[in-house]
Amino acid sequence: MKNILKIRNLKKIYHTKKTETLAVDDFSVDVKEGEFIAIVGPSGCGKSTILSILCGLENKSDGNIELSNDTTIGYMLQQDSLFEWRNILDNCLLGLEINKKLNEDTKKHVINLLKTYGLKDFIYSYPDNLSGGMRQRVALIRTLATNPNLLLLDEPFSALDYQSRLAISDDIYNILRKEKKTMIMVTHDIAEAISMCDKVIVLSDRPSVIKSIYNIELENKSTPINNRKNKKFTYYYDAIWRDIDFHV
């Protein structure tokens, strides 16, 4: 598989009036097409900063980011941020509207996505009428609408309760595999990282440097919920848990 993203020595410094903070230092990684990568680390360590820089919301201080030519990025945030005054379909069309790519074909594509992923009856509903898990699914489809091949997920499930969280992570995993996407996910949930991803990158506390990288090799790899029952799951869990500097 070819690399679609190459990051070399990424560095980010935040400036305020009183101090400057080194948030990310010397972050390098290669991302192959179709790969699912998780970035875990203690909270506030600068995980999200990396995603923000990748999709252009923030500037990097130093380093190199190389995207292969045909790569487009979709970004999914922790909050679904659906617009209450737009119905579900119009919410999903937002990206297409902004990029002026809205036409009959792209609209049909979005409607198909909604139908395929269990939102058929809610196309013309308003966000208020949907459960948290469904709203998150809508947010994913909004991200998929512009047809990006690299998806950045920033703690996508942390606003949900545990039950919906398990269900929706299964959902989203299946959707992304089926649509043949590449994914980088930031999470603080170790189990989520292991069960969903091929590779887990552990970051240290601020400034974030890469502490270790785990290639998750489970026998009979299955969906996230099933993966949690895998024998090697506990092994990875313990190893990553030890790697994360955890202090209360």
Partner 1 sequence: MYSKEHYIFLKKLKKEKIFISIFQFSIFIIFLVLWQILANLNIINTFIFSSPKKIFDTIINLYNKKNLFNNIWVTTYETILSFTIATVLGTFIAAILWWFKRVQKIVEPYLTILNSLPKVALGPMIIIWFGAGIKSIIFMALLISLIITIISVYDGFNNVNKNKIKLMKSLGCTKWQLFAKLIFPSSLGNIISALKINVSMSLIGVIMGEFLVSKKGIGYLILYGSQVFNLSLVISGILILCIVASIMYYLVSFLEKKLIKKDIR
Residues near 25 by Cβ (< 8 Å), separated by ≥ 6? 11, 207, 208, 209
The DSSP element (H or E) to which 183 belongs, if any, is: strand 182-187
Residue 22's SS3 state is: strand
According to the binding rule CB under 8 A, does residue 98 interact with partner 1?
yes
How far out from the chain centre does Cα 66 lie? 19
**Which of 126/233 has CB closer to partner 1?**
126
126 binds partner 1 (CB under 8 A): yes
Distance CA 194, CA 122 (A): 32
The verdict on 46 binding partner 1 (CB under 8 A) reads no
CB of 79 vs partner 1, minimal distance in Å: 4
Alpha helices (H) along the chain: 47-54, 88-92, 94-98, 104-116, 132-144, 162-178, 190-196, 224-227, 231-243
**Interface segment toward partner 1; rule CB under 8 A; list 7-15, 37-45, 96-104, 115-123:** 96-104
Whether the Cβ atoms of residue 1 and residue 32 lie closer than 8 Å to each other: yes
Our finding on whether 122 is near partner 1 (CB under 8 A) is no
The interface mask with partner 1, positions 137-166, x = CB under 8 A, is ---------x--------------------
Q: Are strands 199-203 and 210-215 parallel, antiparallel or unpaired?
A: antiparallel
Contact segment (CB under 8 A) with partner 1 among 1-9, 63-71, 92-100, 175-183 equals: 92-100
CB of 65 vs partner 1, minimal distance in Å: 16
Binders in 48-87 for partner 1, by CB under 8 A: 55-57, 75, 77-79, 81, 83-85
- Give the residue from 137, 95, 136, 130 showing the smallest Cα distance to 116: 137
Is 210 a binder of partner 1 (CB under 8 A)? no
Binding site for partner 1 (CB under 8 A): 55-57, 75, 77-79, 81, 83-85, 94-95, 97-99, 126, 128, 146
